[in-house]
Amino acid sequence: MLKQCEGSQAVAEAVALCRPEVICAYPITPQTHIVEGLASLVKSGALSPCEYINVESEFAAMSVAIGASAAGARAYTATASQGILYMAEAVYNASGLGLPIVMTVGNRSIGAPINIWNDHTDSMALRDAGWIQLFAESNQEAVDLHIQAFKLAEELSMPVMVCMDGFILTHAYERVDVPTQEQVDAFLPRYVPRQSVDPDDPVTIGAMVGPEAFMEVRYLAHAKQMEALELIPQMAEEFRRVFGRSSGGLVRPYRCEDAETIVCALGSVNGTIQDVVDEMREAGVKIGSVSLCSFRPFPSAALGKVLGHASRVITIEKSLSVGIGGNVSHNLRMSLPGRDTKVYTVIAGLGGRAVTKASLRRTFEAAIRGTLDPLSFMDLNVKAVERQLEREKAARRTGPAAEAILRDLGPTVGASASTTTHGPAAGAAH
């Protein structure tokens, strides 16, 4: 049914349509509206049977999901930012145990300095945890990916993370087609675990594995993700047949056919990028873009096909691998074996900094001119950081730089002008 609603509400409804049996909730901005929406659906009886558990931490959230999933229930949780790091150990454990848990990540930066706004640092921190990671471009895709995620997880016996940009998607009101229960039931069968903790068939799960078998276990996790490379497009195609629209898949190219320049990004920023591509195409520039829907597994072959003929690739990345640069570009180079394609890594939008069309266009044009650095930081206040580096050169000091930068910028920035040290985000919900 078409409706105008908040992204989080739409996702809550989509998750409910998947009939999760155990939901674990621990609040963190910007994920809160999703678990609040589900709380209402469970408490009102609209989603039943379902156990909704208000846990005491994200670590417990993932651990309860592990117990529930291992005992044969369809389990779901959602988190973001500090929350996913707080549960990190259990995130790895869930995949190691082969549990098909689905988790939404309302992507948000990681502190310090504490910051509640959007970037991808949180999901990136757990990219090697053995989960499938799907990134939604829009709220419609977020809804659709959740429905696919449960099926994918259960077919592969592997957990799936659906990543949606905090605020930009979670809090945006958009037109969304929320499917009917009949449609979802037709697509997503009941969960039948292959193995579970069950007194009728008692097994030992989670044994200690030594050097003689550990490599093989890890290899198999990788091999399964390679299987997912086949399954994800099939699932997107099946989804299209049942629901009448395409969502998901590995990569979503936009006007790439003859493009000499291709921009690659994760998540909602693709919408803005596509607008810029349209404008530049109108001006005669051969440019296209590709949205990476699946970051894990990384679709090297599919992406290589899309990028094949381009002479330059620009990655717009909402996370910084401190000390080297790009996460996406680093992975993407694997798709370009033996090619001399130029790759430009552009770090953008960290901590919620707006990624504007104007800045994107400037960046793309600089790349085409050949004046863009291989690693650049879009809309960085270069003067402010240079002044700080000068100060630090003059007098060695320890401790955080955040307050120095805020002081330097003066009382004109943000609502935080009156709070001097530890309250740069005064008034925001953390």
Partner 1 sequence: MTSPLPIKFYQTGTFTVGNRLLDVSVRSVQSDSQRNNSLNSGHRACQGCGEALGARYALDAAMRAVNGRLVVANATGCLEVFSTPYPESSWRVAWLHSLFANAAAVGTGMAAAMKVKGRTDVRVIAQGGDGGTVDIGFACLSGMFERNDDVLYICYDNEAYMNTGVQRSSATPAGARTATTPAVGEAPGNVMNQGKNVPLIAMAHFIPYVATASVADLRDLETKVDKAMRVHGARYLHVHVPCPLGWGCDTGDTIKVARLAAESGLYPIFEAEYGEITGRRMIRKRVPVDEYLKLQSRFSHLFKTTEGRARVAQIQAIADRNIARFGLVPEGAPA
Binding footprint of partner 1 on the chain (CB under 8 A): 21-22, 24, 49-51, 53-57, 59-60, 63-73, 75, 89-90, 93, 97, 197-199, 201-210, 213
CB of residue 157 vs partner 1: minimum separation in angstroms? 15
- H or E stretch including 44? none
Nearer of residues 45 and 199 to partner 1, judged by Cβ: 199
Q: Are 162 and 145 within 8 A, CB to CB?
A: yes
Q: Comparing C-alpha atoms, which of 96, 116, 93, 94 is closest to residue 106? A: 116
User: Please, what is the minimum distance in Å from the beta carbon of residue 56 to partner 1?
Assistant: 3
Conformation bin of residue 244: beta by default, left when phi > 0, alpha when psi is -120 to 50: left
Task: Find the shortest distance in angstroms from Cβ 141 to partner 1.
Answer: 29
Shortest CB 203 distance to partner 1, Å: 7
Distance CA 359, CA 357 (A): 6
* C-beta of 73 vs 307, nearer to partner 1: 73
Query: 55 or 384: whose CB is closer to partner 1?
Result: 55
202 or 337: CB nearest partner 1: 202
Shortest CB 234 distance to partner 1, Å: 29
Which residue, 25 or 320, has its beta carbon nearer to partner 1? 25
DSSP string for 381-408: -HHHHHHHHHHHHHS---S-SHHHHHHH
Whose Cβ is closer to partner 1: residue 23's or residue 136's?
Answer: 23
- Please, how many CA atoms are within 13 Å of residue 382, restricted to the half-sphere of its CB? 4
Buried b / exposed e along 319-339 (16+ C-beta atoms within 10 A):
bbbeeebbbbbebbbebbeeb
Q: Nearest-CA neighbor of 373 among 430, 329, 322?
A: 329
**Least distance (Å) from partner 1 to the CB of residue 130?**
14
CB 72 within 8 A of CB 97: no
Total residue length of the chain: 430
Q: Using the structure block, give the residue that is written with the tokens 């949180």.
A: 122
Least separation in angstroms between residue 197's CB and partner 1 is 5
Residue 80 burial by Cβ neighbours in a 10 Å radius (0-12, 13-18, 19+): buried
Q: Which CB, 185 or 279, lies closer to partner 1?
A: 185
